[in-house]
Amino acid sequence: MKVTSDDREHRLHLEDGSDVVASTLVLATGVAWRRLAIPNLERLVGAGVFYGAGRSEAQAMRGHEVHVIGAGNSAGQAALHLAKHAARVTMIVRGSSLTASMSSYLIDEIANTPGIDVQTGAAAGPHVRAALTVTFGGLKPVHALGDCGRVELVDIGLALPDTDVLGFEAADVAARWPVPGPTDDKYTQGVVGVAAGSDTYPGAAVLATGAAVLATSGMVRFAGSAAQAVLARWPEVVTAPDVTAAGRTQAWAVGPGIGTDDAGRAVLAAAVAKDVPLVVDADGITLLADHDELRAAIHGRPVLLTPHAGEFARIAGEVGADRIAAARRAAAELGVTVLLKGNATVVADPDGRALVHPSSGSWAATAGSGDVLTGISGALLAAGLEPWWAAGCAAFVHARAADLAADGIPTPASRLQAHIPAALRSLGGLAAG
């Protein structure tokens, strides 16, 4: 192992060929902070490389990316001490293992750090920012909502009680995704209507409608002024000038890009009057917030709202630190299912059920991504899924499509939309209809 350094960072070259880069290195190398056999170490001292982790050094490292390199207990002690002062601490343990007593001490110290609420994932103070979390027996909300990195669950045979906060796996989604049976046709699989976009925002119509086309194999109707833009990209869609002129549907997806003026209100009101399941997003949510009669009309019906935090605040108040409680409160007050968008998506039903789906990245946080989610959700509602299941399955596939589309780099919503089929294939086989 060796260290190279410049004015901005230190690079630790490990024996396996990998490199670790940080603005600060702490060398915790056993009893009395013995030195590692690293070439040129002396000239690095005082330039961001420390032998120990005393109070003065820790204060100097505030806000730094710190790697603690060591063997055994000394590395653990240094990491815990520095975690209270540095932005991020990584332990690289060499040589001897941690003793049983030190391992227990580390676990107790991390568990009792007052920074993360296990029920909400909210960070109220210094806390561990994990790249990997290994948990035993069962998952808690913090594992989806908190700064836990990749989470690995180890089954130790506990008989755990039922919970009212759930998470979906690929098999759950695959088992419920609509698959046509031998006697199905385009109508029996569910026809979804999409009312989205406008002359100003035709892209919202293209994204939402195309997502519905790709999500299921039934039929999609589009209603609105962006029909030509939709047909240019999705010729299989049946269009109409407005919602009232559209043919029969089993569900409607409405809201993205329709505007919040009187014309937008008329679009939403017409979709509500169809008396079929609805997913409402974007401008549709703002319209609901502004019009008491529309909120009253959807209360108690099979309706899914998909707000981001700003839209949520308009219709249900600020989200706050407890995202699950906020989504449940909104679902109960509005009498509909609520999907609260975010890096960890929360779905809540008026009956109190809650679902949390963590994202493996933030690639879906891009313009138009929500329009894609609206189309997927509407297609699932038309196929007969209840809003809570439709929301959970749509969120899962949407996040999977974002990951596949991005592949580690930024991706636009149109590319996310194009990866819906790949996301469905990745589920491991859809159940027969």
Please write the tens of the pLDDT for every residue from 52-82. Answer: 444 444 455 455 555 554 444 555 555 555 5
3-state helix, strand, coil in the chain (%, to 5): 40, 20, 45
Same domain, 420 and 322: yes
Same domain, 387 and 316: yes
pLDDT average, residue stretch 270-295: 98
Range of the domain at 208: 170-425
**Residue 389 pLDDT greater than 80, yes or no:** yes
Same domain, 6 and 88: yes
Task: Choose between 407 and 423: higher pLDDT.
Answer: 423
Q: Encoding tokens for residue 390?
A: 């439709």
Give residue 102's pLDDT.
Answer: 46
For residue 201, what is the domain's CATH number?
3.40.1190.20
**212 in Cβ contact with 375 (< 8 Å):** yes
Same domain, 93 and 180: no
User: How many Å apart are CA 370 and CA 308, to the nearest integer?
Assistant: 9
**Domain end: 96, 112, 128, which one?**
112
User: How many Å apart are CA 71 and CA 86, to the nearest integer?
Assistant: 20
Same domain, 269 and 352: yes
**Residue 171 pLDDT greater than 60, yes or no:** yes
Range scoring the smallest mean pLDDT among 54-58, 259-263, 369-373, 416-420: 54-58
Same domain, 64 and 183: no
Over residues 209-236, the pLDDT tens digits come to 999 999 998 999 999 999 999 999 999 9
Res. 127 pLDDT band, cuts 50 70 90 = low
Instruction: Please choose, from the candidates 142, 144, 87, 83, the residue with its C-alpha nearest in 3D space to the C-alpha of residue 117.
Output: 142
Same domain, 361 and 230: yes
User: How many Å apart are CA 243 and CA 266, to the nearest integer?
Assistant: 9
Q: Encoding tokens for residue 333?
A: 């007050």
Residue 416 lies in a domain: yes
User: How many Å apart are CA 374 and CA 370, to the nearest integer?
Assistant: 6
Count other Cβ atoms within 10 Å, centred on residue 302: 18
**Residue 88 pLDDT greater than 80, yes or no:** no
DSSP 123: B
**Residue 29 pLDDT greater than 60, yes or no:** no
Same domain, 175 and 319: yes
Same domain, 176 and 83: no
Domain count, the chain: 2
Residue 143 lies in a domain: no
pLDDT average, residue stretch 151-169: 84
CA distances, 70 to each of 3, 39, 286 (Å) = 14, 16, 55
**Residue 320 pLDDT greater than 80, yes or no:** yes
Same domain, 181 and 321: yes
Over residues 244-253, the pLDDT tens digits come to 999 999 999 9
3-state secondary structure of 370: helix
Same domain, 207 and 320: yes
Residue 156 lies in a domain: no
Residue 127 lies in a domain: no
User: How many Å apart are CA 11 and CA 13, to the nearest integer?
Assistant: 6
Residue 272 lies in a domain: yes
**Domain end: 112, 131, 158, which one?**
112
pTM, two decimal places: 0.75
